[in-house]
Amino acid sequence: MAAPEQLPPRVGSALDELRATIDRAAELAREIEARPPAAGDLSARLADVESDRDELSTKLAEYEQQVGRLMNLYVATYQLHATLDPSEVQATIAEIAINLLGAEQFVLLFWKNDARDSSGECEIAFAQGMEDDQTGLYPNGIYGGGDPAVDATLSDGVLRIGPIDGSKALACVPLTVQGATVGALVILKLFDHKAMLRTEDRDLLDLIAAHAASALFAARVYSNTDRKLKTLESLVALVRRQ
Amino acid sequence: MKTRKVLVVDDSKLLHRMFEMMLRGFPLVHAFDGREALDRLAEHKDVELILLDINMPRMNGLEFLTAVKAHPEFARIPVVIITTEGTEDDTERGMQAGAAAYVKKPFRNEELLGVINRLTASPAA
């Protein structure tokens, strides 16, 4: 076959055109071959975006839970200190136990005479769902000991969360004022739709331990002082009239 | 944006405070028993949703619900029962009396907001 330069100019030009076309075809073929990796790249980017979205959704759910948890803590603290009426403070402790912790059966214990007297007994200041109590440890508004977890919490002021060997309590929350344990909130049963105490409940239990007794103590002190003041005012008024 | 007024009927001050925190996008009207709630409804005719406890003094939740559903002006308002364990019979009676949904205590924020968003026109804040 003759070399192209030896061919007539018209044929040579056509051959050049053919070569250019072949080169262009090869270039296009390379571009087409390059396309699958580009599509793969898009898929990878899509996967990244989906992963980011999932991560953000998880974080959002975590933040929502966090907000809910903080909201519970804020509301509980606010409400505990919103009144100086001892019975209202007590009712608030019960409301926290029922509405925020989901406690169906619980007792609020205080050492008799506000001190660990020789009897070693606690009075039950408030009880919920104890009508069918099977433990027999809380008769006639008195707790005389017998549950190892409750006794330990009343003694050392440490929060205990069950299950605890030999104890019927799901949680024993010490009630402390200025470092002294004056009683305990004992949770014995949760509502059926709440299988167990959750991690976030621990914060609420800590809050009760730190705030409930001091709120109640402050309310009792105020109530006693207010009563004495009113008695004195009546006496002064009486003396002035005479 | 149109505001959706919510009537909260519960004898627990703690829960009223909780709803105030949770439902910041909603103007709230508060009542602590059924009888007071009927008075509040008469004053606030633009209430669009009622959150209702069952066990309350004076007039309980079921009596209030019956009164609301019998009232031509208020019967259209969706009622969500806020219930505790052990009151399933009452909850069932409430649903039969016309409650739109119920939520069990203790509830998570997103759970309550989900129900409210479903029952009201546009999403809650």
Mean local confidence (pLDDT), B39-44? 92
Binning pLDDT at 50, 70 and 90, where does residue A119 land? low
pLDDT tens digits, A127-168: 888 887 777 788 878 888 888 889 889 888 899 987 888 888
pLDDT tens digits, A28-66: 988 877 776 667 778 888 889 999 999 999 998 888 888
Domain assignment present for A17: no
Share the mean pLDDT of chain B.
Answer: 86
Distance from CA of A76 to the nearest CA of B (A): 7
Contacts with A, B 51-90, CB within 8 Å: 84-86
Domain assignment present for A3: no
Binning pLDDT at 50, 70 and 90, where does residue B85 land? low
For residue A157, the enclosing domain spans 81-230
Are A107 and A124 spatial neighbours (Cβ–Cβ below 8 Å)? yes
Write the ipTM. Answer: 0.79
Domain assignment present for A1: no
CATH number of the domain located at residue range(s) B5-118 in this protein? 3.40.50.2300
Domain assignment present for A36: no
Task: With a cut of 70, say whether residue A200 has pLDDT above it.
Answer: yes
Of A71, A75, A102, the CB nearest to B105: A102
Q: What is the pLDDT of residue A116?
A: 54
CATH no. for residue A90? Answer: 3.30.450.40
Mean local confidence (pLDDT), A79-85? 89
Nearest CA-CA partner of B74 in B34, B105, B103: B34
Domain assignment present for A40: no
**Which chain B residues are within 8 Å of A96, Cβ to Cβ?**
14
pLDDT tens digits, A1-31: 445 556 566 767 888 888 889 999 999 988 8
In chain B, where are the structural domains located? 5-118
Distance from CA of A116 to the nearest CA of B (A): 32
Nearest CA-CA partner of A76 in B23, B17, B116: B17
Mean local confidence (pLDDT), A84-92? 90
Are A75 and A95 spatial neighbours (Cβ–Cβ below 8 Å)? no
Task: With a cut of 70, say whether residue B2 has pLDDT above it.
Answer: no
Q: What is the pLDDT of residue A118?
A: 54
Strand ranges, E, within A146-236: 160-161, 171-177, 180-190
Question: Could A92 and B110 be called an inter-chain contact, meaning their C-beta atoms sit closer than 8 Å?
Answer: no
Total structural domains within chain A: 1
Domain assignment present for A162: yes
Residues linked to residue A127 through DSSP beta bridges, in sequence order: A107
Task: With a cut of 50, say whether residue B3 has pLDDT above it.
Answer: yes
